Amino acid sequence: MEQILSGTLAQFNEAADQIGLADEMRDYLTSFKTVFQTQFPVEMDDGTMRMFEGIRVLHNTARGPTKGGLRYAANLGVDEAKALAMLMTWKCAVVDVPFGGAKGGVAVDPRAISANELQNLTRRFTSEIIPIIGPDKDIPAPDMGTNPQIMAWIMDTYSMNNGYTIPGVVTGKPLALGGSEGRYEATGRGIVDVTEEHLRAEGGVDGRRVAVQGFGNVGGVTAKLIRQAGAKVTHISDKETALHHPAGIDTAAAYAFVQGGGTLAAWREQYARDVEVVSADSVLTADVDVLIPAAVETVLTEANAAAVRAPLIVEGANGPTTPEADTIFRERGIVVIPDILANAGGVTVSYFEWVQARQFQRWSEDRVNQELQRIMARAYQVVSARCPTGTGTCTLRQAANWVAIDRVVEALTLRGIYP
C-alpha cells in the first residue's frame, strides 16, 4: 500500500508547486497530527485469545475535528491509512464541511470471524481508541468491511465509558440510533450529482453509456442511481464477476439481489442469462461515455491507461488512479473528476448526521438529498472555475487540490501556531 501514499504525496506536491506553497506550510500539511497504533486481544468463540492490530491516523485539525472511515481489511497498513486520511482532509475542504481528515481500522478479514467475535473485536478496538475519538475530536464512519451495526457497537461502547449516550461520536449509524436518512446512498448519489453537473451543458447523464467497476455500497448504489437518471449501464463488476450487455443492465435488480446476500454471478445465472460474462479488465477499458472506478485503490495505472476508452472518468473509489495514469489521461484529453470531489457525498451526509446528532434533530430524506445536491453542485462549480474543462491548461484534480490546500492553509494561517 506504499503506492497509494506515494501517489497521494506526489499529487499534493504537484499542486503545492503550482500554487507556490511555502516550504514550512508544505511540511505542515504532509505531517500527521496523530498516528495511533495498537495491538489488542480478543476472546474468540472457542475461548482462545487472538491478537489484532488497530490503526487510527488523524491528519489535520485546522478546520475542525477529524472525520474518516474505519475499515476492516486483512492488508490494512499505516501507509494506506495515512494516504486516505490526507485525502479526507482535502475532500472535506473541497466540499467545505468543517472537518479534517482521518482514517484507520483493524487488520482483519471480517468474513473470517463470527458475528460475536466481530462485536468483541469492535468493542475492544473502540476501548483502545477512546482517548483520540469523540464528537469534538475524531468521528469515525463506515468504510470497507464495516457497516451501521459496527458503528452502533462503537457508539454504545464509547457511550458506556462516558456514562451517557453520545450519538455524535460516529456517523453511518442505524436510523434507530440517530443515523441520517440518505446516508447509505450518499456516496453513490453524490457521484451521480457531480457527474450530472459536469455534463449539464451537454444534456446530463441521460442516454450516456456507463461502466461501473465495483458493486458494493459505492459502485452498486451509483450503478442503480445513474441508471434511474437515464444512463445506460453496460458494464458492472464485483470482486469475482464482470458483466456486460450492450443494451444496458438492470442495475436496480442486480443491486437488490446483491444486497440480499447474493453475487453478480448468481444474479446473472438466475435472472439475466442474456448478460455476458466478461473479463474484469474489460470494464476499465470498455467503450463507454463514462467510466466509474468504484472498487479499490490504484486500478488505473500506467499499464492500462492507454487502453481506457471512456472520455470521462469519475472516481468513485479513493485513489483509483496513479500519477502515471493521470499523466496519460491528460495527454489523451480524458477528463478525470477526482475522488476528493466525486465521492465526497458520503462525508457530506456524514456531516449532516453529525449536525443532527448535535442538535437532536431528524431531517427528512428529501432534505438530505436536496442539501447534498446543492453542496456537490457548488463544489463542482468552485473547482471547475479554477480549471475550466477544455482549456488544456490544468486538470480538475489539480484544481480540486488547489481549492482544498488554499482552504486548509487559510485556516492554519488564521489560527496561527499555539506556543
Return d(Cα 383, Cα 402) in angstroms, integer: 9
pLDDT band at 393 (very low <50, low <70, confident <90, very high): confident
Q: How many C-beta atoms surround the C-beta of residue 28 within 10 A?
A: 16
Give the relative orientation of helices 323-332 and 2-19 as an angle to the nearest 10 degrees. Answer: 50
pLDDT band at 72 (very low <50, low <70, confident <90, very high): very high
The total number of residues shown for the chain amounts to 419
Residue 28 has pLDDT above 90, yes or no: yes
Question: Which residues are CB-neighbours of 115 under 8 A, at least 6 positions away?
Answer: none
Residue 392 has pLDDT above 80, yes or no: no
Return d(Cα 364, Cα 190) in angstroms, integer: 17
Q: Are 403 and 94 in contact (CB under 8 A)?
A: yes
Q: How many C-beta atoms surround the C-beta of residue 86 within 10 A?
A: 26
pLDDT band at 387 (very low <50, low <70, confident <90, very high): confident
pLDDT value at position 201?
Answer: 86
Return d(Cα 323, Cα 301) in angstroms, integer: 8
Of 67, 82, 91, 103, which is the active-site residue? 103
Residue type, 399: A
**DSSP annotation of 295:** S
Cell numbers standing for residue 84:
486516505
- Return the higher-pLDDT residue of 45 and 7: 45
Which residues pair with residue 211 across a beta bridge?
235, 291
What residue ranges define each of the domains in the chain, with the CATH number in brackets? 2-175 (3.40.50.10860), 186-337 (3.40.50.720)
**DSSP annotation of 313:** E
Return d(Cα 14, Cα 19) in angstroms, integer: 9
What is the model's pTM? 0.92
Of 239, 199, 212, 185, give the one whose Cα is nearest residue 316. 212
For residues 75-79, average pLDDT: 93
Q: Are 312 and 334 in contact (CB under 8 A)?
A: yes
Return d(Cα 188, Cα 223) in angstroms, integer: 8
For residues 38-46, average pLDDT: 97
Kindly calculate the radius of gyration of the chain based on its CA atoms and give it in whole angstroms: 21
pLDDT band at 297 (very low <50, low <70, confident <90, very high): confident
Residue 388 has pLDDT above 80, yes or no: no
**DSSP annotation of 28:** H
Return d(Cα 237, Cα 382) in angstroms, integer: 32
**DSSP annotation of 41:** E
Return d(Cα 91, Cα 181) in angstroms, integer: 22
103 in catalytic set:
yes
